[in-house]
């Protein structure tokens, strides 16, 4: 309701201008009356409700919690996807649970939608507390996982939680990022915009329309959920205004392989994990298609093409707010890096947060800043609020634990692709890394693959010659060195057997305190206290367990990595057996990062074989020779070659380990994405 002063001034103006012409007061009196009324309006308190695009209320540039969460409308709709994944002769319907404010509906005002489409609403749960959906006796949602509904429904948004096909209350089959997964969410956006049919029941029922929404949708989600947001955006669907993918896949091939090297077991494991009981019974044929389409050879097949969203970045209409843990060993930063680069090439409006955590939601490592930032993002792109967020610095980066910096654009301004060459030393297996000192032709180093070791073992013994690795280091840096983006390492190698895997890792050598991303919380620890974001009901609390940084003092920090199967040196489409002793050249893609190696530290590049626990070993145990004269690293260095200031390698101090190498993570069975 408008304030009394504004209501009175509006009524006075109405009285003046609504008088019949014959009974109006002289024009001088009319002018005076107008001035008095306008003055009253200007001097009156600000209105309690200022509409933005006809939905939500905005004051001081922010949507306000003026609507009741307890009285919100809770309902379910089943949307026809137009597909028949389970082969039962009728098109599949996916369940969408809706929570929306009652007051705009009563006033005929239309609201935008925040959508999280997920396979995890019944099998595994969402968030740090693994929340699942719960329902009342009528089948309407009681607990909606996470805080989106609690916080945003009172601010004039609807939240829509979609069960992917084959999961929870939806028909169809899970196809792990393929057409069925993507159509599950896209069909709901089409329904919200009047282009698809919705029903009141999973079978039968009456048709339901979404007359309560303006059709503007923002998708959000972590891991598989965020992956669906990427995939739906890549369809170019109308009505999707923005996406917020958190630690999300951009190409499913790169979740299961890295340039031919297998990272974990096949996707059929994931589909089996999340499918509902009814889908298990009906989706055997679809499961077999998944198995047949994703052979463990590492070859790129049509199965992977259908799950590659990067190739369709040019279709993206939505803005993108990407969030990524730079030490995420589940959905690795390669996904973010290649997606970001493709979006930038097509001029997509975008923003990014990069943390030092692993696979962690920003709500659990920077909650007080995340929620208001997300609110402003949605306010701008879904409510049309001109709050300037799109003009603010593009990137927030966690530079050290809980210390964040910003950059106008990302990768950082002044970043240049810089060549670093590898040189030998008097000690076999140890070499130099720099812009000069290229090895003479014929200079080689070698290692023997040991799948029982991994990057932490290599890094903890970087200055000690060991059989399973080669290590190349700069001298002690005299100035900070910042690497911003994704690099490559081009290796010319020979193998003593018919198969070989290569690993390349970048290591910051020197003491520092980091987030313990290898710990159980992947950089956070969960506390016993709670903080509240939004409104609660008896069945859905807005209060969540607090967290704090889990830190570790280290003397080395692996901050970027990449892997490859040497047999795929020519093409990902078809790997070949190696000819022992024959040289092959392959470029290993390093995961995107933003890391500062501080003055007093050293930068190391380790080239080795199987990164145990992160990739599966080849079917032989090769000794691999590296031709140093034909091996080079290309790193995105801020300031280029001139920014690398280091003492001569001979002047460096010996690296003393402060901690033993951490045990390698278990690689199979595959960890869940969530």
Domain boundaries, the chain: 4-48, 63-407, 415-513+545-651
Whether the upstream peptide bond of residue 669 has omega within 30° of 0, thus cis, is: yes
534-577 pLDDT tens trace: 999 999 999 999 999 999 999 999 999 999 999 999 999 999 99
pTM to 2 decimals? 0.90
Over residues 622-642, the mean pLDDT reads: 98
75 phi/psi in degrees, rounded to 5: -155, 170
Closest by Cα among 422, 540, 507, 500 to 145: 540
Question: Is the confidence at residue 100, as pLDDT, over 70?
Answer: yes
- Residue 674 pLDDT: 83
The answer to whether residue 125 scores a pLDDT higher than 90 is: yes
Judged on CB neighbours under 10 Å (0-12, 13-18, 19+), 656 is exposed
Where does the pLDDT of residue 12 fall: very low under 50, low under 70, confident under 90, or very high at 90 and above?
very low
User: CA 373, CA 407: separation in Å to the nearest integer?
Assistant: 16
Backbone angles phi, psi at 50, to 5 degrees: -120, 115
For 359-392, write each residue's pLDDT tens digit.
Answer: 999 999 999 999 999 999 999 999 999 999 999 9
9 pLDDT higher than 50: no
DSSP state of 599: T
Cα 248 from Cα 223, distance rounded (Å): 5
Distance CA 572, CA 334 (A): 16
Percent of the chain with pLDDT over 70: 89
CA distance 93 to 183: 11
Q: Which of 37-41, 146-150, 186-190, 369-373 has the weakest average pLDDT?
A: 37-41
How far apart are alpha carbons 619 and 638 in whole angstroms?
Answer: 40
The closest of 674, 510, 531, 537 to 600, measured between CA atoms, is: 510
Average pLDDT over residues 168-175: 96
Lowest mean pLDDT, pick from 298-302, 506-510, 654-658: 654-658
Mean pLDDT (the chain, rounded): 90
Asked whether the predicted pLDDT for residue 2 surpasses 60, the reply is no
Give me the percent of the chain exceeding a pLDDT of 90.
Answer: 86
Q: What is the pLDDT of residue 102?
A: 96
Contact 358, 520 (CB under 8 A): no
| pLDDT above 50 (res 152) | yes
Residues β-bridged to residue 199: 78, 207
- Nearest 5°: CA angle at 610, between 604 and 614? 90
CATH superfamily of 415-513+545-651: Galactose-binding domain-like (2.60.120.260)
CATH code assigned to 63-407: 3.40.50.1820
pLDDT tier at 356, thresholds 50, 70, 90: very high
Confidence of residue 665 (pLDDT cuts 50, 70, 90): confident
| Interval 45-75: pLDDT, tens | 333 333 444 456 899 899 999 999 999 999 9
Cβ of 116: how many Cβ atoms within 10 Å?
26
Cα separation, 588 vs 509, in Å, equals: 22
What residues are annotated to the active site?
Answer: 223, 328, 359
For residues 92 and 172, the answer to whether their CB atoms sit within 8 Å is yes
Residue 4 has pLDDT above 60, yes or no: no
Q: What is the mean pLDDT of residues 410-428?
A: 97
pLDDT for 470 beyond 90 = yes
How is 622-651 classified by DSSP, letter by letter?
Answer: -EEEEEGGG-EEEEEEETGGGG--B--GGG
Alpha carbons 185 and 229: distance in angstroms, whole number = 8
- CA triple 620-455-467, angle to 5 deg: 55
Phi then psi dihedrals of residue 55, to 5 deg: -145, 145
Residue with token string 């009974």? 23
CA-CA-CA-CA torsion sign (63, 69, 75, 78): positive
The sign one gets for the Cα dihedral 173, 179, 185, 189 is negative
**pLDDT tens-digit series, residues 205-243:** 999 999 999 999 999 999 999 999 999 999 999 999 999
The confidence score (pLDDT) of residue 589 equals 98
- Spatial separation of the C-alpha atoms in residues 567 and 564, rounded to whole Å: 9
Range scoring the smallest mean pLDDT among 144-153, 307-316, 657-666: 657-666
- Give the pLDDT score at 6: 30
Contacts of 125 (CB under 8 A, 6+ apart): 131, 132, 145, 674
d(CA 514, CA 367): 19
pLDDT of residue 1 exceeding 60 = no
């Amino acid at each position: 309701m408008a304030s009394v002063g504004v209501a009175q001034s509006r009524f006075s103006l109405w009285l003046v201008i609504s008088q019949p012409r014959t009974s109006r007061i002289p024009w001088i009196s009319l002018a005076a009356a107008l001035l008095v009324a306008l003055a009253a309006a200007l001097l009156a308190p600000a209105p309690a409700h200022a509409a933005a695009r006809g939905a939500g209320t905005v004051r001081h540039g922010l949507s306000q919690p003026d609507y009741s969460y307890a009285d919100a409308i809770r309902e379910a709709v089943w949307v026809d996807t137009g597909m028949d994944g389970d082969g039962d002769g009728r098109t599949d319907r996916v369940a969408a649970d809706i929570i929306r404010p009652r007051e705009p509906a009563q006033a005929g005002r239309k609201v935008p939608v925040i959508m999280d489409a997920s396979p995890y609403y019944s099998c595994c749960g969402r968030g740090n507390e693994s929340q699942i959906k719960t329902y009342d006796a009528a089948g309407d949602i009681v607990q909606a996982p996470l805080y989106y509904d609690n916080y945003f429904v009172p601010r004039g948004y609807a939240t829509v939680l979609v069960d992917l096909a084959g999961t929870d209350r939806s028909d169809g089959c899970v196809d792990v990022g393929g057409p069925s997964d993507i159509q599950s969410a896209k069909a709901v956006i089409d329904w919200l915009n009047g282009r698809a049919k919705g029903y009141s029941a999973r079978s039968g029922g009456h048709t339901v329309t979404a007359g309560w929404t303006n059709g503007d949708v923002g998708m959000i989600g972590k891991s598989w959920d965020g992956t669906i947001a990427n995939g739906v955006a890549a369809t170019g669907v109308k009505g999707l205004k923005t996406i917020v993918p958190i630690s999300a896949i951009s190409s499913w091939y790169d979740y299961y392989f890295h340039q031919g090297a297998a990272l974990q077991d096949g996707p059929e494991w994931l589909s089996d994990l999340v499918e509902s009981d009814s889908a298990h019974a009906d989706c055997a044929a679809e499961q077999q298609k998944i198995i047949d389409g994703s052979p463990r050879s590492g070859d790129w097949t049509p199965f992977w093409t259908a799950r590659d969203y990067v190739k369709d970045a040019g279709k993206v209409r939505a803005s993108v707010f990407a969030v990524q843990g730079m030490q995420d060993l589940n959905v690795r930063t390669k996904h973010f890096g290649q997606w970001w680069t493709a979006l930038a090439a097509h001029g997509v409006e975008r923003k990014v947060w990069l943390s030092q955590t692993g696979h962690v939601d920003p709500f659990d490592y920077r909650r007080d800043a995340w929620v208001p930032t997300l609110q402003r993002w949605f306010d701008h792109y879904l409510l049309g609020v001109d709050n300037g967020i799109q003009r603010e610095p593009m990137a927030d980066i966690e530079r050290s634990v809980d210390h964040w910096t910003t950059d106008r654009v990302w990768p950082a301004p002044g970043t240049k692709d810089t060549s670093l060459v590898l040189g030998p030393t008097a000690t076999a297996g140890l070499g130099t890394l720099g812009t000069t000192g290229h090895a003479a032709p014929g200079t080689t180093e070698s290692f023997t693959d040991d799948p029982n070791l991994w990057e932490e073992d290599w890094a903890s013994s970087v200055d000690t010659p060991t059989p399973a690795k080669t290590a190349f280091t700069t001298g002690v840096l005299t100035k900070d060195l910042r690497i911003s983006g994704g690099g490559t390492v081009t290796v010319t190698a020979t193998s003593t057997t018919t198969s070989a895997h290569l690993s390349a890792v970048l290591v910051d050598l020197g003491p520092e305190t980091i987030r313990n991303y290898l710990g159980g919380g992947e950089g956070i620890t969960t506390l016993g206290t709670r903080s509240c974001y939004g409104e609660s009901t008896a069945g859905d609390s807005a209060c969540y367990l607090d967290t704090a940084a889990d830190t570790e003092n280290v003397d080395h920090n692996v901050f970027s990595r990449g892997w490859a199967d040497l047999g795929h040196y020519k093409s990902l489409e078809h790997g070949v057996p190696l000819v022992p002793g024959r040289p092959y050249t392959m470029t290993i893609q390093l995961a995107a990062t933003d890391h500062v190696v501080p003055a007093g530290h050293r930068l190391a590049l380790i080239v080795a074989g199987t990164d145990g626990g992160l990739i599966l070993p080849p079917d032989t145990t090769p000794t691999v020779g590296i031709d140093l004269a034909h091996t080079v690293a290309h790193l995105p260095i801020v300031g280029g070659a001139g920014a690398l200031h280091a003492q001569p390698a001979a002047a460096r101090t010996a690296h003393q380990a402060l901690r033993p190498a951490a045990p390698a993570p278990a690689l199979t069975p595959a960890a869940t994405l969530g």
